[in-house]
Amino acid sequence: MDADVLIIGSGAGGGTLARALADSGLRILILERGDFLPREWGNWDPQTVFASYRYHSDESWLDADGQPFHPVTGYHVGGNTKFYGAAVLRRRPTDFKARKHVDGVTPDWPLTHEDFAPYYDQAEAWYFAHGEAGSDPTEGPRNPYPFPPLAHDAAVASVEQALRDQGHHPFPLPLALHRLEDDPAHSPCVRCPQCDGFPCMVHAKGDAEVCGVRPALEHNNVNLRCNERVRKILLANDGKTVSGVETDHGRFTARVVVLAAGAVNSAALLLASRSEVFPNGLANRSDQVGRNYMCHLNSACMAIDPLRENRSIFQKTLALNDFYEDSGDPDYPYPLGHIQGLGKVTPALLHAQRPRWPIPMTAWAASHSVDWWLTTEDLPLPENRVTVDEHNTIHLHWQPKNRESHRRLCEKWRGLLQKAGFPLVFFQAMDISATAHQVGTCRFGDDPQTSVLDPNCKAHDLDNLYVVDASFMPSISAVNPSLTIMANAIRVADVLRKRLDRT
């Protein structure tokens, strides 16, 4: 037996789980499809990251029409947290309950905000969370953040004041950054513009490599193998358990296998692990594996004041949830979503994404803009799903719901920004390739007929297979899923400790 616990993937779920189990004495084996992301100047170069996509996979997936596309995803130690914007928000208490949207109703979770609260506390402590408890009216009861919020640059502070003058409730965006204002000698974060969407060259971002895998590897019982792509999870002879996995380089056995490859790849791996006992895919007697894929409806926003330059360097510090629960319009009583600052769109970054625009145009637009990210909740639909063909190529069928709510969120934000002094407001919606916030596909629940996992994230159909990435989520909410993945991994670690008698 190669391990007590074998973890497939080292991102927000797998990396956090490894750290949570590291001091148990259990033999932990992490299999990562990629390698450590190289530390090099390209980490902070917009052309390298956003034009040549050096750090992203070159694989193609197929959409519902069979058309190929390149998903914005990469395979590295730390997973996609290497590129996330480090926004670490808790789901709101109402996000754990059924909620009515214009296009449908979200399901109840089998657990509550209170169940997750202690695990949120631990995840925030590990991931350098900076924030201000009580500043957002939609946030549930909580303990103070481990660290105070990051201060706003002048342009962001001006928007915050304008929103307050309009009667709204902006709040400091919770961020996972190693930034201590009172101890700069031990704080690698320098508040650079290359944070949101870039890997951090100085390891100041609270990603799953820095805060999960590396602390886990300080324990001799934890082993990481890079460049080990798992091709199949192996069913044991009893048909009720799994024995291990098969990779490109061999086989590994374990008492427990934990899948944490991301919502799309975890579902694809289960479907590819078909057998006579599970002809439709491993752990898939319910026919729910791969179904109910969700991804946020996201739009980037540039708000331009032609008469004023924005000299901000680090501007991702402000958020607004005033339209999170309700639009505020009695004729449209539905949630619209979440608004947060976007990492500064620099002239070089805008040129990398819009190479056909004249350089003077991109330089002027970027230097006069304050930039934002808008998120609306998608809904779980069985037909939005991951499938694999006979070659195990991934097919992603996705038609997001709540488009009207997202349109209204954008228009609502346009109006607020124009009142705040930004006459030019532009939006860019994300398409199917923007898979950073992928969830669903192996949702947890009490009913084996309608869910893949039980409330402890163990497969209903198998006794020793768990899933701890965002696959488990029955709904996506409208806030970034990262912190909930991390908190859930810590919760499942408690389950595994008790199961394997290592408290």
- pLDDT bin (cut points 50, 70, 90) of residue 418 is very high
User: What is the distance between the alpha carbons of residues 265 and 441, in angstroms, rounded to a whole number?
Assistant: 10
- pLDDT bin (cut points 50, 70, 90) of residue 15 is very high
Contact in structure between 271 and 290 (CB atoms under 8 Å): yes
Radius of gyration of the chain (CA): 22
The β-bridge partners of 43 are none
What percent of the chain has a predicted confidence (pLDDT) above 90?
94
User: What is the distance between the alpha carbons of residues 458 and 467, in angstroms, rounded to a whole number?
Assistant: 7
**C-beta neighbour count of 240 within 10 angstroms:** 12
User: What is the distance between the alpha carbons of residues 12 and 490, in angstroms, rounded to a whole number?
Assistant: 11
Amino acid identity at 399: Q
Domains of the chain: 3-150+173-293+379-394+434-499 (3.50.50.60)
Lowest mean pLDDT, pick from 40-49, 110-119, 444-453: 40-49
pLDDT of residue 503: 52
pLDDT digits (tens, 9 = 90+) for 199-222: 999 999 999 999 999 999 999 999
pLDDT of residue 243: 98
**C-beta neighbour count of 38 within 10 angstroms:** 12
Contact in structure between 255 and 464 (CB atoms under 8 Å): yes
Chain-wide mean pLDDT for the chain? 96
pLDDT digits (tens, 9 = 90+) for 316-330: 999 999 999 999 999
User: What is the distance between the alpha carbons of residues 24 and 259, in angstroms, rounded to a whole number?
Assistant: 19
- pLDDT bin (cut points 50, 70, 90) of residue 37 is very high
Q: In sequence order, which residues have a C-beta less than 8 Å from that of residue 186 and are 6 or more positions away?
A: 180
pLDDT of residue 352: 87
pLDDT digits (tens, 9 = 90+) for 159-169: 999 999 999 99
Question: What does the pLDDT average to over 327-348?
Answer: 95
User: What is the distance between the alpha carbons of residues 4 and 26, in angstroms, rounded to a whole number?
Assistant: 6
pLDDT of residue 181: 77
DSSP 342-364: -----HHHHHHH-TTS-HHHHHH
**C-beta neighbour count of 368 within 10 angstroms:** 18
pLDDT of residue 324: 98
Q: In sequence order, which residues have a C-beta less than 8 Å from that of residue 350 and are 6 or more positions away?
A: 357, 362, 365, 366
In this predicted structure, the answer to whether residue 183 has a pLDDT above a threshold of 80 is no
**C-beta neighbour count of 53 within 10 angstroms:** 13
Encoding tokens for residue 212? 């999960």
Encoding tokens for residue 117? 């609260």
pLDDT of residue 180: 82
Give 241: exposed, middle or buried? Use CB within 10 Å, 0-12, 13-18, 19+: middle
Half-sphere exposure for 421 (CA within 13 Å, toward CB): 18
pLDDT digits (tens, 9 = 90+) for 376-387: 999 999 999 999
Q: In sequence order, which residues have a C-beta less than 8 Å from that of residue 436 and are 6 or more positions away?
A: 72, 73, 80, 83, 84
pLDDT digits (tens, 9 = 90+) for 51-66: 899 999 999 999 999 9
What count of residues does the chain have?
503
The β-bridge partners of 319 are 171, 340
In this predicted structure, the answer to whether residue 502 has a pLDDT above a threshold of 70 is no
- pLDDT bin (cut points 50, 70, 90) of residue 353 is confident
User: What is the distance between the alpha carbons of residues 231 and 240, in angstroms, rounded to a whole number?
Assistant: 20
pLDDT digits (tens, 9 = 90+) for 249-308: 999 999 999 999 999 999 999 999 999 999 999 999 999 999 999 999 999 999 999 999
Q: If we measure between CA atoms, which residue out of 209, 189, 178 comes closest to residue 83?
A: 209
The β-bridge partners of 256 are 5
